[in-house]
Structure 1
């Protein structure tokens, strides 16, 4: 595979944490060329032959190579089993950007999205407790694309796995809250990480805000307290590796 065809960076996580806004910002960078659509879903595609993957099919999602950095954003890669391992085989030198968001707020936003889509019919309280058992009836075992409200928030576990495959210098962690509050600073970090030329501050983007449902509701105090307890140990792991902690 020609070196200049390889995708140089991937926004690999996490869902509901501002990856669409970052993708849109990067689409305005002169030194970058992005996939035609966000979320290529190549490395999490279980229907592909991973003993002999067709990277030509992956590269078909991008404009012809022109010397600019190629990148894409598929936030499930950090969570989905095998995805990071497949990315490492494809390009061991790839740079990975991960946006994190308060895992409780992320789980709530995820549930609202699936409810609005009609994929979820159960209340949030049930989903984050009894509903987690549904993942053990899924394939791959223990994972689910829609019902993984709680599981996708175990950031420490996922980052630990990532750092077991890639050097820390190939990982940039951003907080969704920081990207939203000051996109210029956040994008400056991404430019530096990718070796892009400095640029101006972009306009703040509000992507998908207000599009999830049901509207006008919030998680209960009991649900928040429950999830804080569920995530407590994992948050310790995350803080030890990255310095990032939510509550």
Structure 2
């Protein structure tokens, strides 16, 4: 009984509707055609077979050498859930070839097959085969889709053309090198869902993870010993499985290094030199919550020794309000936010500090000016490389950062997503579909694990600090809407 849902022997039958009839034979009678696999040779069958053949997406002769075993496994990949797997034994020995299949390893049963015995199996179930014969076992294996699947794109091959196949993909050898890795990079913002998005995207069977998440090959892992563009490209591509991926252009890979967004002066020239073709994704989040999350992360003592080292120690003895104040004053001292006014400039007076606000007349004149960009460059020069304990407030000035990237790359190389859109029902699937489409993949893949990644809880923010940050970020959020469009109007309610 356990084997019935897994294996279906398809017998010759004309009782079903002609359009849906699967015309096969169990091999018990002599074949009435010259094809040798028991398919009757008559006009009706030929017509039906032709309709069926248009739904075949994969067909090959599989030869298993003597003494070889394919161990217990199950097939994976997006294509598996769309296709039916059919085996046609061509050369085999019923007694000496052991073919087993079942829902689990414990319930696997032997299927005795002989030449011409056509059967369909669920290849998502466990299966294995051992050839104890002194000859090659040969099966014709084909996968087909139901008519409801829709139109199948077919690519004519040239005689003698070679194909390169993996468990996930099949490519023409002549296409090798047509996709140069990496295909995409999630460049920011830190603590805005970049870890989650990278995990969701890598669930797609045609995406291969980088050798490490957050390669940092364009910022603090940049190799200063490489002095030519070729050497720099070779160095940076070592963070990906580039050699293997060049052979399989239907597969792609990407990076997620969210520190890139906040360091445009450093990273943009390197990105243009090494990966000018890359598709970039920017994840944004309510900048107030983003800053609070960053503080909680870098002051947390949970994690590996390496993680704690990268987070830095600069904020461990400071509360959130102190770090906010230090960053705002650092930006003010360098001339980046001349529009931020503290009553009577009493920055050490608590009441005066929490009463700080934006002078909108100055803001409108300064924002987007050469003076602002010059001050932003000066601010970036003070950013430490080997620590995450910096730029707590500045990282939330999204328009200022994105503007730099838009100047140097085509706009269609960017996709900007909002973390809050993932939090609603069905939000993960919708956002990830947009990401798949952006990097050139069919957007219909459904992510299986939609749980948030790298999330943590933290203490609530005091009302005074929240109100101060709302006043600070409000004009920046409006400028963000101006460059990203109506979708970003009143994105976070302030």
Q: TM-score, normalised by structure 2?
A: 0.46
SS of equivalent to 1:129: helix
Aligned pair in 2 of structure 1 residues 209, 45: CA closer, same or farther (>3 Å)?
Answer: closer
1:107–1:150 CA contact under 8 A, matched in 2: yes
1:132–1:148 CA contact under 8 A, matched in 2: no
Partners of 1:139 and 1:220 lie apart in 2 by 27
The residue that corresponds to 2:434 in the other structure is 189
Partners of 2:421 and 2:429 lie apart in 1 by 10
Deviation at 1:177, TM superposition (A): 1.3
The residue that corresponds to 1:161 in the other structure is 404
The residue that corresponds to 1:122 in the other structure is 318
The residue that corresponds to 2:483 in the other structure is 241
Greater shift in the superposed pair: 32-41 or 139-148: 139-148
Partners of 1:96 and 1:227 lie apart in 2 by 28
Partners of 2:446 and 2:466 lie apart in 1 by 38
Partners of 2:222 and 2:414 lie apart in 1 by 28
The residue that corresponds to 1:99 in the other structure is 283
SS of equivalent to 1:78: coil
2:200–2:450 CA contact under 8 A, matched in 1: no
Normalized per residue, which structure has more strand?
2
The residue that corresponds to 1:76 in the other structure is 259
Greater shift in the superposed pair: 135-144 or 75-84: 135-144
Rg comparison, structure with higher value:
2
Q: 1:24 aligns with which of 175, 199, 206?
A: 199
Deviation digits for residues 173-192 of structure 1 (CA, Å, limit 9, x no counterpart)? 11111123321101111111
2:188–2:260 CA contact under 8 A, matched in 1: yes
Partners of 1:47 and 1:206 lie apart in 2 by 30
Deviation at 1:230, TM superposition (A): 1.8
Greater shift in the superposed pair: 47-56 or 166-175: 47-56
2:327–2:393 CA contact under 8 A, matched in 1: no
Deviation at 1:78, TM superposition (A): 0.6
Deviation digits for residues 124-170 of structure 1 (CA, Å, limit 9, x no counterpart)? 11110135556889995242441211111110001111100111111
1:13–1:77 CA contact under 8 A, matched in 2: yes
2:203–2:448 CA contact under 8 A, matched in 1: no
Greater shift in the superposed pair: 137-146 or 190-199: 137-146
Normalized per residue, which structure has more helix?
1
The residue that corresponds to 2:445 in the other structure is 199
Structure 2 residue 465 is matched with structure 1 residue 223: yes
Greater shift in the superposed pair: 49-58 or 150-159: 49-58
Partners of 2:455 and 2:380 lie apart in 1 by 31
SS of equivalent to 1:5: coil
Q: 2:413 aligns with which of 155, 160, 170?
A: 170
1:39–1:74 CA contact under 8 A, matched in 2: yes
Q: TM-score, normalised by structure 1?
A: 0.88
1:100–1:175 CA contact under 8 A, matched in 2: yes
Partners of 1:233 and 1:62 lie apart in 2 by 40
Query: Structure 2: 5+ residue runs without aligned partners?
Result: 1-176, 302-311, 335-377
1:12–1:77 CA contact under 8 A, matched in 2: yes
Instruction: Tell me the number of residue pairs that the alignment of Structure 1 and Structure 2 aligns.
Output: 242
Q: Which has the higher contact order (CA 8 A, sep 6+)?
A: 1
Quote the RMSD (CA, aligned, Å).
Answer: 2.4
The residue that corresponds to 1:54 in the other structure is 232
